Amino acid sequence: MTTGLQHFRAKKIGILGFGAEGKALLDFFLKHDIIPSVYDVKEQVREFLPPNFKGEFVCGAAYLDSLDQIDIVFRSPGIPRGIQKLLEAEKKGVEISSATKLFFELCRGQIIGVTGTKGKGTTATLIYEILRAGKKEAYLGGNIGAVLLDQLSTIDDKTFVVLELSSFQLEDLDVSPHYAVVLGIMPEHLDHHQSAENYFSAKSNIVAHQTPKDRVVLCADNQITKRLATGIASKKYWVSTQSIAEPGGYQVGGQLCFNLDGREEIICQTDELQLAGKHNWQNVLAAVVIARLAGVDIAHIRQAVLNFRGLPHRLQIVGTYNGVTYVNDSLSTIPESAIAAIETFLAPKIMILGGSEKFSNYRDLARKIAASNVRAVFLIGQTSPKIKKALQDAEYSGVISDDIDNLQDIVRGASSIANRGDVVLLSPASASFGLFKDYADRGRQFEQAVKKLIEHDETGQT
């Protein structure tokens, strides 16, 4: 480890953005006697610096102006790679890096990278659970969990490291993981990447630097993902719920199967899964193929798959009140995941949509809502006007409510018009910032609102 860090000891290091990754980076560098500078627009983050921190802290509106005075900038994922000051510093010879890139450079383990526009958190977590069931030493991190820099000393060449990788994390990489999973890709985060092509370019780094010794599992049902597979050096495997995908995993009737070496094996019946929704079948197939390539036997794969319940805030049933089921899908931050949520529940639905802007297109979601048994839509947040217009353009005939600005009152409003057997579905199709700290905070507030609704009924309050 010390040898791997020699490159940084003679350099001026800057950490740009002092969120979770920035704090993990600072702790890591200080632990190895490297003192970086910290750059953040918010002065109040100073209180999170260690009391004995001896490096420079730069904050305020002009915090980016002195980036060209350091040698290596470690960019936090939330700061766009293409901002002018960062590009200007790079032109002057400043190296742009990140916590993810540093981890790749120093990690001795076998990295399994998972990306896609939706489903990557579920898939990464399931891969981790299968590896553990198969008695493999494994860590889970990246966008879904810890930065894992502090675990580097415990990771050897037999350790698997499963990383959920967002486009923000991938855009700095000039190295790819040993194993990659690329699920369906739809244009997203265009506020950050500026164009769909830039978003695609960032995603492509997960396979662009793979070698013939590496492996990738790709979604055969997505045209953008198939485009990404063109010209890469690694051995390709496929997953599909629409056709037989060989070598790879696929759905046949009510069964999930895989065939990697000319012999088909059945994973399970689809109705045995505890994961809700047909869209999750593809996630299961991808996790199974990667785990099999990593050496886990089919018995342990089946055990983990059948026991897996999914992620918090992803299609979680919160409770039932007056015969109405309340579902927390706060992790849904794009229209495609909200469409998948609609398809998961056959019952009539009342949906809660909206949040902060990611510059998504809501046309297909609105058409899906208009063509489905969605009885009412409650809108909240910055994207409300855009979603409302899309619903109107799709000639949606249900109720649209856009005048309530908190989840507690929205849950009460949904309850007042819901019929027995309905599903009240929080699947925002938007980011959470502004009204909430993050998607988890949004999900918790929804769960609390449902809990209050049920408690009021049980205590006889009105």
- What does the DSSP assignment read for 6-73? HHHHTS-EEEE--SHHHHHHHHHHHHTT---EEEES-GGGGGGS-TT--S-EEESTTTTTTGGGSSEE
Q: Tell me: do 321 and 255 sit in the same domain.
A: no
**In the prediction, which pLDDT does 267 show?**
96
pLDDT at 312: 82
Domain shared by 63 and 123, yes or no: no
In a shared domain, residues 298 and 380 = no
d(CA 249, CA 12): 48
Of 276, 307, 338, which residue is a domain's last?
A: 307
Count of residues for the chain? Answer: 462
Q: Over its length of 462 residues, how does the chain's per-residue pLDDT go in tens digits?
A: 445 788 888 899 999 998 888 999 999 999 999 999 999 988 888 888 998 899 999 998 889 999 999 999 999 887 888 888 999 999 999 999 999 999 999 999 999 999 988 888 899 999 999 999 999 999 999 877 678 998 999 999 999 999 999 888 888 888 999 999 999 887 554 454 456 677 778 888 999 999 999 999 999 998 889 988 888 999 999 999 999 999 999 999 899 999 999 999 999 999 999 887 788 999 999 999 999 999 999 999 999 999 998 888 888 889 899 999 999 999 888 888 899 889 888 899 999 999 998 778 899 999 999 999 999 999 999 999 999 999 999 999 999 999 998 999 999 999 999 999 999 999 999 988 888 988 999 999 999 999 999 887 654 443
Q: Are 296 and 130 in contact (CB under 8 A)?
A: yes
CB 270 within 8 A of CB 279: no
Half-sphere exposure of 404 (CA within 13 A, CB side): 16
Give the separation between CA 436 and CA 356, rounded to whole angstroms: 9
CATH label of the domain that carries residue 32:
3.40.50.720
Kindly report the CATH number assigned to the domain that includes residue 180: 3.40.1190.10
266 and 367 fall within a common domain: no
Residue type, 28: F
Same domain assignment for residues 157 and 288: yes
**Of the residues 252, 277, 307, the one at which a domain ends:** 307
| Predicted pLDDT at 3 | 52
Closest CA to 215 of 238, 198, 236, 243: 236
How distant is the alpha carbon of residue 53 from its chain centre?
33
Reading the block at residue 446, the tokens are 């929804």
User: What range defines the domain where residue 116 resides?
Assistant: 103-307
- Is the entire prediction scored with pTM above 0.85? no
Q: What is the DSSP string of 131-164?
A: HHHTT--EEEEETTSB--GGGGGG--TT-EEEEE
**What separation in angstroms does the CA of 413 have from each of 149, 290, 362, 408?**
46, 45, 24, 9
| Structural domain count, the chain | 3
345, 248: one domain: no
